Amino acid sequence: MTNQEVLIVGMGLMGGSLSLAIKERCKNFRVTGVVRSENSKKTAESMHLADEILLDSSLSVSFPWGNYDFIIFSTPVDSVIRYIPMLPKSGKTFITDLGSTKKTIIDAINRHFGEDHRYLSSHPMCGSEFSGPAAAKVDLYDQKLCILTKANSTSIDAYDFIRGFWEQIGCWTLDMDAKEHDETLAYLSHLPHIISTLLVDTAIENETVKKIINATDKPITGGGFRDMSRIAGSNFEMWLSIFRENQTYVYESLLKYRDQLNSILEDFSNGKPLEETRLQSLWNLAKEGKKKIQKANEAD
């Protein structure tokens, strides 16, 4: 096997962990990591996240992109979109990104490249409430879903190479077009992050809750609240970017969610006794729906 030169732009949790996974599983890859600040450069170097670390100020149209065999953008979507017009339109380089939304990235690829290019967009679903290079860990991608989204003229060899790469890293892959991706992710990822954040905001503004939590130095929550608040308020910069890119579908999912909430509020409104049948059907739908979505066969 000949050596492969890999460029990872962005060495946060996702890029840093990917580099660690590459070093473990793809022995013939040599990784160059790109970071934004001298500070991140120091962290990445001290953690040996890559074979070489560059600052992103060196990236431009004249950067030798074509010298790399494989380029992976691990930055927010708006930044991926700024890099795409700098890329060579032909050559040996396979290109992907880890973008959390797809429509604007696929539009940018379709605008920039001609026929038969080597860019396939990816979305490995393994973010967490942690961020930054210091949070990087070698097994972040183990057994995770990686969604693959083709542009109009993604070549078959690019699809095969990048799909094979993710499988080597430990992911399983699934094809979605940009609309399917963005709409599905609105419901299964973006909406949950908003819901979690608003839950904590609602709880912390209640005077009795405030009084009780001030009265003790230990957590007063059970596992339910802990899980429901894990992703609350995390990584604002990333989420603002995602919400901006996917505003339409997130808005739609919020509207649908409010319909559900309005309907249950009606059930709870004072004076009326709670109706078992309707609540039971909401509970059953969730119990079955959860199994379908998670493909689980758990007990109650």
From 6, 148, 2, select the one nearest 71 (Cα to Cα).
Answer: 6
Query: Least Å distance between CB 127 and a copy of itself?
Result: 6
Strand partners, 29: 4
- Which is closer to a copy of itself, CB of 87 or CB of 194? 194
Give the three-class secondary structure for 121.
Answer: strand
Three-class SS of residue 175? strand
Least distance between a copy of itself and beta carbon 245 (Å) = 10
Q: In terms of CB distance, is 159 or 225 closer to a copy of itself?
A: 225
Pairing of strands 120-124, 145-150: antiparallel
CB of 55 to a copy of itself, least distance (A): 23
CB of 7 to a copy of itself, least distance (A): 25
| Amino acid at site 244 | R
- State in angstroms the smallest separation of the CB of 284 from a copy of itself: 7
The answer to whether the CB of 100 falls within 8 A of the CB of 250 is no
Nearer to a copy of itself, 5 or 180 (CB): 180
For residue 78, how far is the Cα from the chain centroid? 14
Nearest of 174, 198, 190 to residue 245 by alpha carbon: 190
Nearer to a copy of itself, 108 or 146 (CB): 146
56 vs 129 by CB, closer to a copy of itself: 129
Look at residues 103, 94, 105, 99 and name the one whose alpha carbon lies nearest to residue 71. Answer: 94
